[in-house]
Amino acid sequence: MAISQSSIYLLMTLSQTIGGNIPTPIKFHAIRGDEKELQSALAVTELDDFALIQRTAQGDETALGALYDRYGRLVLSVAYGVVQNRETAEEVTLDIFTRAWEKAHTYDPQQAKVSTWLTRMARNRAIDRLRREKVRPFHHSVHWSDVIAEPVTESNQPETAVHLSLEQQRVRAAVASLPPAQQEALALAYFQGYSHSEIAQALDQPLGTVKGRIRAGMQKLRALLGDG
Amino acid sequence: MHNENHDHIIELIPAYALGVLDADESAVVIQHLGGCTACRAELAAYESVVDALPLAAPQIDPSPALKERLLEQIQASPAPKTAVPPASPWQRSIADYIQEFLAGPRWQPALALAVIVLLAGAFFIWQQAGPTPLNQVELTATDAAPDAHGLIAIAANGRDATLTVAGLPALPPEKQYQLWLIEDGQRDSGAVFSVNADGSADVTVDSERPLTEYSAFGVTIEPAGGSPGPTGERVLGHNL
């Protein structure tokens, strides 16, 4: 062998740093052309979220596409829950994934799961948007999902999608078990970014009542979701 | 002595996690959290609840064309600013060339070293080539962090900007600083960041609008990941 492994690794790391798009060190000289792209596309669906973010940070568009396939619907739904308008919600979604593309290197797995990172950004961005445009959807239109039994086990569905779907059912059931008044107060807080006093005003309820509903709702959700 | 205070604060934590407290109440909670492990654990539990709530948003399906729009948009968007840029065709060809070269049976270590030196040089030059700052906005300390300094450097295009801070206290893991871009009472998030052990940080500012359109800036302490609007204590500020 004419070169040490460490030198090869150094060169490869450097070429990746400069912008090379090498799927994995092991396969790099065995796969060429279309076959290489196909392998790469197949491989990304197998990767965990953090690996996808790392690849996205290296400029791998298929990795960003895979993240979108996993979480695009979730991000759009959060944005729509806030802005109540499909066109604006899709713009926010594009913005969030473009930002994920540009900021993937700042993602810190210690701080939050990838899905949490994306949905926190989506909520914040959508609320920013709402405030900037000074549009406040009529509060009765702001609500949680019904508990719908969705098909979760299509045989070809990736594991992450099945897991997400089961988690969705669990969280929706927990929220649906709250009294409607608590659900309403929590929806205004989560989707509109309202403060206690803004919620009290929107619902025409005493401040103390609203504080009580928020606290009781959060305590019950914690009890229901805590072990998951 | 501070049991009574503790009992009061722990009642506020669910609302604090959800971001519904007014600024003065949030400030009281933040101050208490610094010295109270039990309340920090309580907060972590409620933040998990808030992080689960997106799953209960009513689901809508993206338009089929949205993914295509995304991929078009990222191709048109600038390369990540402070990290590895996406591969452009010529970069890819260099990388491929190196791979083929290394995979081949004959090659010379000296030549490989020369390639490394050249590429490292090119990378260094690429890193240096950033937009030239046009405007600088100095942020001044508040009583909450009297030793803090901040500077926003805005590039000639009015949009690219960097926030540099120093002298900010390190925060517990569940807290981060957040930069607010303020116009007409409206507060947009400009960045969420942590500081190094020495209290400093260099942060890329994120804004849909040119920064020159904002009339004031502020930095507050928020739950990790940031808040939709400022809830915590203000540590830096500037009014233009």
Tokens, residue B190: 């400009």
A194: chain B residues, CB-CB within 8 Å: 20
pLDDT digits (tens, 9 = 90+) for A77-98: 999 999 999 999 999 999 999 9
Task: State phi, psi for A51 to the nearest 5 degrees.
Answer: -65, -35
Tokens, residue A219: 């305590």
Average pLDDT, chain A: 81
Residue among B2, B52, B55, B73 nearest B31 (CA): B2
Tokens, residue B199: 């209290």
Q: What is the pLDDT of residue B28?
A: 84
- Residues A47, A23: Cα–Cα separation, whole Å: 12
CATH domain A138-228 topology: Arc Repressor Mutant, subunit A (1.10.10)
The better pLDDT of the pair B36, A28 is held by: B36
Interface test with A, best of B11, B12, B74, B160 (most A CBs within 10 A): B74
Q: What is the pLDDT of residue B224?
A: 85
Average pLDDT, chain B: 77
- The domains of chain B are located at 3-56, 133-239
Helix (H, G, I), strand (E, B) or coil at A44: helix
Contact call for residues B164 and B153 (beta carbons, < 8 A): yes
Nearest to A59 among B86, B115, B226 (CB): B86
CATH of A9-18+27-135, one of 1.10.287.110, 3.80.10.10, 1.10.1740.10, 1.20.120.160: 1.10.1740.10
Cross-chain Cβ contact B95/A7 below 8 Å: no
A215: chain B residues, CB-CB within 8 Å: 11, 14-15
Q: What is the pLDDT along chain B (240 residues), one digit of tens a residue?
A: 456 688 889 999 999 999 999 878 887 888 788 788 899 899 999 999 999 999 999 999 999 999 999 999 998 876 554 444 444 444 444 444 455 445 444 445 555 556 556 666 555 554 444 333 346 677 888 878 877 888 888 876 777 888 888 889 889 888 899 999 988 778 889 999 998 887 888 888 988 888 877 878 999 999 888 888 888 888 998 865
Q: What is the pLDDT of residue B50?
A: 96
Nearest to A90 among B66, B91, B103 (CB): B66
A122: chain B residues, CB-CB within 8 Å: 54
Q: Is A69 a residue whose pLDDT tops 90?
A: yes
Cross-chain Cβ contact A186/B18 below 8 Å: yes
B225: chain A residues, CB-CB within 8 Å: 111-112, 116-117, 120
- The domains of chain A are located at 9-18+27-135, 138-228
CATH class of B133-239: mainly beta
Q: Is A218 a residue whose pLDDT tops 60?
A: yes
Q: How far is A46 from chain B (nearest CA, A)?
A: 19
A78: Cβ contacts below 8 Å, ≥ 6 apart: A119, A122, A123, A126, B54, B57
Q: What is the pLDDT of residue A28?
A: 40
Nearest to A124 among B55, B73, B228 (CB): B228
Nearest to A214 among B18, B96, B224 (CB): B18
B178: chain A residues, CB-CB within 8 Å: none
Residue A42 — pLDDT band, cuts 50, 70, 90?
low
- DSSP structure string for B26-63: HHHHHHHHTT-HHHHHHHHHHHHHHHHGGGGSPP-PPP
Residue among B6, B25, B53, B45 nearest B230 (CA): B25
Q: Is A60 a residue whose pLDDT tops 80?
A: yes
B173: chain A residues, CB-CB within 8 Å: 110
Q: What is the pLDDT of residue A24?
A: 40
pLDDT digits (tens, 9 = 90+) for B1-43: 456 688 889 999 999 999 999 878 887 888 788 788 899 899 9
Cross-chain Cβ contact B226/A120 below 8 Å: yes
Q: What is the pLDDT of residue A4?
A: 45
Cross-chain Cβ contact B62/A128 below 8 Å: no
Q: What is the pLDDT of residue A81?
A: 94
Q: What is the pLDDT of residue A147?
A: 76
Q: What is the pLDDT of residue A177?
A: 96
The better pLDDT of the pair B140, A41 is held by: B140
ipTM above 0.85, yes or no: no
Q: What is the pLDDT of residue A92?
A: 96
- Residues B174, B224: Cα–Cα separation, whole Å: 5
Specify the range with the lowest mean pLDDT, choosing from A3-7, A164-168, A209-213, B8-12.
A3-7
Nearest to B186 among A132, A146, A191 (CB): A132
> For the residues A178-190, what does the mean pLDDT come to?
96
Bridge partners of residue B236, in order along the sequence: B141, B219
Task: State phi, psi for B175 to the nearest 5 degrees.
Answer: -120, 150
pLDDT digits (tens, 9 = 90+) for A103-159: 898 888 887 899 999 999 999 999 988 887 766 666 667 889 887 655 554 555 677
